[in-house]
Every structure is written in structure tokens, then in C-alpha cells.
A and B are shown apart, each in its own frame.
Chain A
Amino acid sequence: MTLSPYQGGRRLLSISAAVGAAGLALTALGSALDPRRAVYAYLVAFVYWLGIALGALILLGSLHASSAKWSVVLRRFLEHVPAVLPLFAVLFVPIVLGRHQLFPWADPGALEGELREAVAHKARYLNVPFFVARAAFYFVCWIAVAHFLRAWSLRQDAAGGVTLTRWQRRLGAGSLPLLGLTASFAAFDWIMSIDPRFYSTIFGVYWWAGSFMGAFAVTNVAAFATRGDPSQFGAHMNLDHFHALGKYLLAFVAFWAYIAFSQFMLIWIANVPEEVPWYILRINGGWLWVGVFLVLFHFLVPFFALLQRAVTRSPRRLALVSVGLLVVHWVDLYWLIMPHLDARGPRLSPWDLTAFVGVGGVAVAFTVWRMRGTLAIPVRDPYLEVSLRYLPR
């Protein structure tokens, strides 16, 4: 297969970079006007976009672990998306700076009563130096795995052979336990510790399940958007590739619902005072309706939509459902974080928008920048031919 390096995306790059820079600047302004709200909005945007990049990395690792052949044609995209992770290490700095707004445990002296006891009990884990050190460790792991998987795959474009495929498979499979655990602990540190009393061992998987679904949704949208560009991967995918992606999306919509329900039911039925207030907060006031919205549009509606071949075998409809799920995924993270800012209910602020487009804009720009000048398909992967002829029957 001969393919020319990807040179498009210049407009997308400049627009998203400009929107991203403006969004981040406005969010910084917001942190001066309304510090708490702006920092919370920034955290939602940060874990949203980071989760998608991390989901793509875990997906890439699982494809290598299962020696998947069907996905070779779209694998390069999954190698490029996690290449944005170094940017997120930089974007993590505002969260460290905004820790006094976000995390009660960052100022244990100012706490009273039960919360003070809980934080004192967990102080050996929840303290600022260890928090920063853990975050640094997570980022080192993620960036290293993402770097080598992408670099070896790019090197194979020139060198060919099977040795590099073998290396990628070993690293992809071997890194999965590490990626799973670091992603889980990142969710404990950055989202769950907003309420230091609450703990749920499945919490990391909850964040990860939605993010993994988001990674599939982004892949579907990108594949649909690049269908007309022969230097991109979407143009080389057949309907069965889209069908397979659609089935995966269905599976992870259901997986998210399974994890969300398991966490809720176990906490509800156990009725333990440390855990239950987290849900009481979310079934009172306006948050109840956000929860009902999530049950409907994060599970029931997309589940029955994706059951139909008419949707999963149509790239356009699949992309449409994916965009819908990407919106709902943001609502899910908003519901996960924002009740601790305002117990009365969801109140949208301009900083929600500026932070979302700010982090998203620079992340998209960075990803497109890393894509440009490289081949959009691993042209000398030994299984590319098998992938192009993919026919699941």
C-alpha cells in the first residue's frame, strides 16, 4: 500500500489552537472573578479530555494484547491521540494551583468535625506532596507507554518486519495492568477526593468506563470525518470496520451502565454513613434530574439506537450517535464533580464553556500537530492486508 504523509488539517489546527488559547485565557480570567466555580469547571474539562486520550491508550494496549488484526487500519489514530498526554501533564499545573478550591484535604487546619477526623485519618495518603508525586508517576507511565507504542509503530513504516510488531504487542499487553491501576488511582485522587469521606473501589472504573466509551466515540467521528481524504484512515475503512466500532460502542455504553448501577446499588443497599451522603447529594435538588437524564441518554436511548444495524452499519448515523454520547459524557463528569460545588442543582456558568473549549481546543490542536507529516495508516504492519479485507463472518 502506498500512502502519502498526512498534510491536511491545517485549518482545524489553527482554529482549535485559537479557540483553545482563548478558552484557557478566559478561564484564567474566570479564576480571578469566581475562583471556585472556574477551577471546578476546569477540572471537569481536564478529566473529560484527559480521559479520552487515556481511553484511546488503554484501547490501543488491549488491541495489542489480543493481537487484533481487524483494527490495524485505524490503529495509527489510536497511537496519535495518546500522544497528547505530555500536554496534559502541563495542563495539570492549574489543578495543583487550584487545590485549595477543589480539595478540602489540602487545608486540613480549616476543617471541622467529622470531615476533620476523616481527613486526619487519611492524611498519610491525602497530602499535597504525595498527591503531586503520584500525579507525576501517572503521567510518566502514560507518556512513556504512549511514546513507545507510537514511536515503534512509526519506525515500522520505514523499517518493516515483524520485530517491531512483537515489541508493540509485548508493551501493549504488559502495560495494561499498570494503565488500569494508574487510571483508577488518578480518578481517586483527582475526582473522588473532592469528598474525602467518600470511597468506592469501583469509582476509578466508572470514570474509565465512560472515558473508554468516549475514545470509541471520538474514533467514530474522526473516521467519518476523514472518509473523503485518501491520506487519512477513514477513507480506507470498510462498512464492517464501522460496524465493529459500533458494536464496541454499544458494549461500552452497556459497560458504563453496569458499573454505574453496581456502584449505586451496593452503596444504596449497604446504607453505610460514609458512603451514602455522596448519593443523597445527587438525588436531591436539581441533581436528581441530571441523574435521570444520564439513565436515559447515557444508557437507554443510545443502547436501543446502537442495537440496530441500520445505525452501526451507517458511518453517518454512527457518528451522530457518537457526538451525542460525547455530549452526554460531559454531563456525566459534570454530575460527578459539580454537586460538591453547589448542592442545589446544576447551574451552568460561562467558565464551563470556556474551560471545555479551552482544554479541548489545545488538545485537538496538539493532536493534529503530532499527526501532520506522518502516515495515517501503519503501511508496513504485517497484518494491514488482513485488516483491509476484514469481513467478520
Chain B
Amino acid sequence: MKALVLGEFGEQAALLDAARSLRARGGARLDLHSPYPLEGADEVLGLKPSTVPLVVLVAGVIGAISGYLLQWYTVGYDWPLNVGNRPPHSPAAFIPVTFELGVLFAALAIFFGLLAAWFGFPRVHHPVFEVEAFRSATIDGLWLSAEVEGKDAEGIAAELRRLGARQVSIVPEAT
């Protein structure tokens, strides 16, 4: 059973220091929540480069290829259409649709890729919102969340208090 430990900090430096020392301790999946972009958060959390761009590129290329094949098969091969006496298979005329399908597939891949990778779809409600005070993360609060094994939650909470957290909450049974 996983639990989520939340701690609120008043200063950016204290938040980053706490994240750094919890990361050194290990055993917890850390995340930071703040109303504005935090400089240095990537490095403190040890985030790897996102895989989303690669997924989008692959999806875009697949979209472009299938857009071209769709046109070639329908009007160039299976049922050749004479449009203004151009050859049925006219690459120049196929480019706009090819481009649009590439863009469409790439955009859908971003949308569904982010839903799956970042929001953990089909989960519809993130456990951080169990804590009422967490709303300050969109106003003026700097929050650290740590996903840990249930039995470690108390230890991490004590550690967060020691590192200077203004308030600490535990969300049990956060899956």
C-alpha cells in the first residue's frame, strides 16, 4: 500500500534543499508543486529528458505516411480518379493532406501521451487533492510530495518537519 506525504515550504531554497536530501535518502518518488516555474527543479529531482517529443515525432511520421497511403490507395490505385487531367497518383496534390494528417496524429499523441504519462490516466483524481491546504500550491505555497511505502510515511513526515516544512500531511492509500 502506497502513501503520499505532502509538505509545504515557505522558501524556494528550503524546498529544493528538502527535495535534495530526501532524494539522497531514497525510497520515495518525489515531485514539486508550485504556482510558478522553479529554476533548478529538474536537476534537484533528477528528471530525465521527457520521452513525449519522441512519441510525438513517431506519431507525426506515422500520420504523414498513412495520410499519403490513404490518398494513393483511394484515388490513385483502387479507384483511379481523373481530376483536371492530372495523373491519378500526383504527389504534389497529396502533400497538403499528408501534412495535415501528420499534424493531427502528432497533436493527438501529445494529448493522449500527456494524459497517460503525466496524469496517470485512467486515474481521474490525483491523491494530492485529498489535502485541502494543498490548494495553496496554485496561489503562494511551495509543496513537496513524496510517494512512499505506507510503513515509511511517518518517518518521511518527521523528516519533512525537520527540514523546515510549515505543515505536513499524509494521504494514506494513495495508489
Q: Cβ of B95: which chain A residues have Cβ within 8 Å of it?
A: 261, 265
Alpha-carbon separation in the docked complex, A393 to B86 (Å): 49
Q: Cβ of B96: which chain A residues have Cβ within 8 Å of it?
A: 265
Are A393 and B37 within 8 A (Cβ)? yes
Are B86 and A269 within 8 A (Cβ)? yes
Alpha-carbon separation in the docked complex, A261 to B92 (Å): 8
What total count of A-B pairs have CB within 8 Å? 17
Is A268 located at the chain interface by the 8 A CB criterion?
A: yes
Q: How far is the CB of B59 from chain A (nearest CB, A)?
A: 14
Are A264 and B39 within 8 A (Cβ)? no
Task: Bits for A240-268, please: 1 = Cβ < 8 Å to B, else 0.
Answer: 00000000000000000000010011001
Is B81 located at the chain interface by the 8 A CB criterion?
A: no
Is A307 located at the chain interface by the 8 A CB criterion?
A: yes
Are A391 and B93 within 8 A (Cβ)? no
Alpha-carbon separation in the docked complex, A268 to B96 (Å): 14
Which partner residue on chain B sits nearest A307 by CB separation?
B57
Q: How far is the CB of A158 from chain B (nearest CB, A)?
A: 35
Task: Bits for A355-393, please: 1 = Cβ < 8 Å to B, else 0.
Answer: 000000000000000000000000000000000000101
Are B39 and A265 within 8 A (Cβ)? no
Q: Cβ of A269: which chain B residues have Cβ within 8 Å of it?
A: 84, 86, 92-93
Given A261-B95, A265-B95, 15 further pairs, Cβ under 8 A: A264-B92, A265-B92, A265-B93, A265-B96, A268-B92, A269-B84, A269-B86, A269-B92, A269-B93, A271-B84, A307-B57, A309-B49, A391-B39, A393-B37, A393-B39
Which residues of A approach B to under 8 Å, CB–CB?
261, 264-265, 268-269, 271, 307, 309, 391, 393
12 contacts between A and B (CB under 8 A): A264-B92, A265-B92, A265-B93, A265-B95, A265-B96, A268-B92, A269-B86, A269-B92, A269-B93, A271-B84, A391-B39, A393-B37
Q: Which 3 A-B residue pairs are closest in the complex by CB-CB distance?
A: A393-B37, A265-B92, A268-B92
